Amino acid sequence: MHEIAHETARGTAHGTARGTAHGNAREKSPEQRHETTGHAPWADRAWAAVLERTGQTAAEVGPRFPLYADPESGTWKTTSRGSWTGGFWAGLLWLRALTSGAPQDRAAASECTRRLAHWTDQDTATRGLIFWYGTALAAGPGGDGLAAGLRESAARSCLAAYDPERELVPWGAAFGGPRMLARVDAVPGLVPLLAGLGTAGERAAYGHLTRHLTLSRSESPPRPAWQAGPDDGWTPCAEPAPGWSRTTPWLLLGLADGLHCLTDGLTSRAAGALWEAADRLTAPRLAPAAPLVSPAQEDQPSGPLDTSAAAIESVALLKLAALARATDRGDEADRLTARARQILHRLCTRHLSARGALTDGCYDAARGLAPRHELIWGDFFLAAGLALLTGRMEPFTA
């Protein structure tokens, strides 16, 4: 990888964006939020419902991790160690704790994070999802030493797994199957996790991100997974299938974090290339006919929807909008924000149940697994999107 500058260029427009976008989750008065964001009351109502649902979920699952819930009964399927989704539950608990300020909420979030420790040395690139989203919000007021330690330990393990020849952290063998895969769900979380380790981590984060972006240009729509082949080649994987709903949202989320945490060390050419990739991936989403909530599989329009993909997209777009606004791309920022707002409104008015559950998420359409369910990462990203839209959380807090 050659596009990371040896000396950082502090004080650039992108650097300014990085500095001003930082912040912690916090509660503002309704007057402050309406003044700064101009959001409608539906967002406040949805926010309250989601937090109430978080409390209900915590009471139901106890020391286990929620995975997906039945859309009718609301009963959760749980796991003992959290699988690849455990960080989203911890992140949701941290978001609740930082906005409520209640000591018992903070204790619950900290305890949940502690139970992620098993994954620090597991061979999986989903450690980015687990440890970024499970610990980033713990850096809020007062900090959490345990979360910070787990995050650094996981980041160093991921850096040790980085393959400089393939320029990525392999998907890994923790969940079975081939180890040397490039999967788009290995991008978000892992980029900022690695970038927090200084120059070596930034180089690995940049290589990992750009490897996935390069592969995403190979087919349209982007293929979610590739297996390493001979002579530095890559072979397309059949699963997840092309047209998978979360492919572009995961890429956009990783891109937004990369533009935020890597720009100070990039050459102007490399930073420009990342913005070009963002423009390429967002263009179809900003088209007038683009659906706000896509099918779980693009080629199955009558099949189940995937609200979790839409929630992820809303967060990615709001992050990109913050960066665009800070770098004199105001018109683009307005378009991205408008799209995110429309997505969140659709989710909250058509897919949010009376108990505050984001339904119509699809875990795995190919296997028919939880095709119209509440998904824990869908809940997390809906909460994060609402927190960003209403000014309760600053971009890049998580």
Per-residue pLDDT reduced to its tens digit, 151-165: 999 999 999 999 999
Locus of tokens 């050459």? 267
What pLDDT does 26 receive?
Answer: 45
Please provide the average confidence, as pLDDT, over all residues in the chain: 90
pLDDT score of 256 more than 80 = yes
Chain-centre distance for alpha carbon 384: 9
Neighbours of 364 (CB within 10 A): 14
pLDDT score of 284 more than 50 = yes
Identify the band that residue 38 occupies on the pLDDT scale cut at 50, 70 and 90.
low
Task: Tell whether omega for the bond before 249 is within 30 degrees of 0, i.e. cis.
Answer: no
Identify the band that residue 7 occupies on the pLDDT scale cut at 50, 70 and 90.
very low
pLDDT score of 373 more than 80 = yes
Q: Residue 67 phi/psi, 5° resolution?
A: -115, -60
What pLDDT does 231 receive?
Answer: 84
pLDDT score of 261 more than 70 = yes
- Reference 170, options 223, 112, 118, 127; nearest CA is 127
What pLDDT does 10 receive?
Answer: 29
Residue type, 277: A
Q: What is the pTM of this model?
A: 0.92
What pLDDT does 232 receive?
Answer: 82
What pLDDT does 229 receive?
Answer: 92
- Reference 385, options 296, 302, 315, 290; nearest CA is 315
